[in-house]
Amino acid sequence: MPQHARTTRVCRDCDGFPIVAITTGTRHTDGTRTTLRVTCSTCQGTGHTAAPAIGLVRFGK
């Protein structure tokens, strides 16, 4: 019997790359570059978004 894998939604803002390193242009004394780690503010560094709630919405009376 086939197993169905649950697919998680990839964040639309970071496209699944939630943490990036940005170089500042300066170097440390040992010659390595100075970098900043920045996380995606939409998914808070997980790379996935929450699936929308499935349900019925009732309008009117």
pTM above 0.85, yes or no: no
- Residues of the chain predicted below pLDDT 50: none
10 within 8 A of 17, measured Cβ to Cβ: no
- Per-residue pLDDT, 46: 87
- Per-residue pLDDT, 22: 92
Length of the chain: 61
- Per-residue pLDDT, 30: 96
- Per-residue pLDDT, 60: 66
Distance from C-alpha of 34 to C-alpha of 10, rounded to nearest angstrom: 29
- Per-residue pLDDT, 42: 87
Name the residue with tokens 């808070």: 44
